[in-house]
Amino acid sequence: MDVLQVLQFLLLGTLIGILSGFFGIGGGILLTPLLLVFGYEASAAIALSLMLTLGSTTAGTISHIRLRNVNVSHALWIGVFGIVGTWIATPLVFYLEGVDGATLIISLVYIALLTYFALSFFRSKQHVEGSVGTDSVPRLGIIGVFAGFISSLMGVSGGFVLTPLQVKLLNTEMKRAVGTSITAALLIVVSGVISYTVAGAETNYLHGLALIAGAMIGSPFGAKQLQRFSSQHVKKALGGFYITVAISVGLNLIGWNTASLALLVTLALLFIVTLLIRPRKK
């Protein structure tokens, strides 16, 4: 057992967990591109990322429930439909890996979705949370299936699409969308981990456990910091985060691996430093 590697994955899980708790994302959105840069096979990278998100979504769910940021009914509906999506995507990833197309397809999907949602956040205006009744179940189902599919396709919790889709389709206030997203993502991620385990993904589960432990340390801290910022500030920060990750994935796709890695590391460190030295609430 390489103790140094385990400690590195523990630290990585902690740093990504902070981002996860703050933005309501599982953290795989950052870890999957990192692992692809490091040369991991797509299925192994996705399985490890899902293990990370299992830790971050568990800790984040507990934190956001305590902070009363969760619409439990919406989270359950999204999570149940999301499970369907995960079992659709997993065999597709193994098929794409078999024809050497997984990294390309996953990278392109990352860039397209991140850019779209980032632009939607930059264009959005502040609004008051609306009331959505039982007619929202079909919309919750669409959101859930789509997020579950994206989760197992890209090794993420699905939170990076759950949060903006709730804001856009359900008129959910940003902080409530963050809490509900990470709670629904917990169900989606559990299903994703099971589906990849059953499918026989080859990965280092000791590293996965270190990521889970780190995420459970960092995620509550990130969730707590969310209360210090306005919803509009969080939207703009999340939009900038998405754009930066999309650029990083693009750099990796054209072979600029070092630049891609440097950009991701710089993004994470700048964000964490900002939380520590510039906490503010409007």
* pLDDT profile of the chain (282 residues), mean per 10: 80 82 71 77 80 80 86 90 86 78 78 81 58 65 87 74 82 83 86 80 80 84 76 78 84 81 80 68 49
What does the chain come to in residues?
A: 282
**Dist. CA 282–CA 280, nearest whole Å:** 7
**Dist. CA 176–CA 167, nearest whole Å:** 9
Q: What are phi and psi of 108, to 5 degrees?
A: -65, -40
Confidence at residue 187, expressed as pLDDT on a 0 to 100 scale: 87
Confidence at residue 134, expressed as pLDDT on a 0 to 100 scale: 43
**Helices of type H across 227-256:** 231-253
- CA dihedral 230→231→233→236, nearest 10 degrees, is 180
Give ∠ CA 149-34-252 in degrees, rounded to 5: 95
Neighbours of 276 (CB within 10 A): 10
Confidence at residue 77, expressed as pLDDT on a 0 to 100 scale: 92
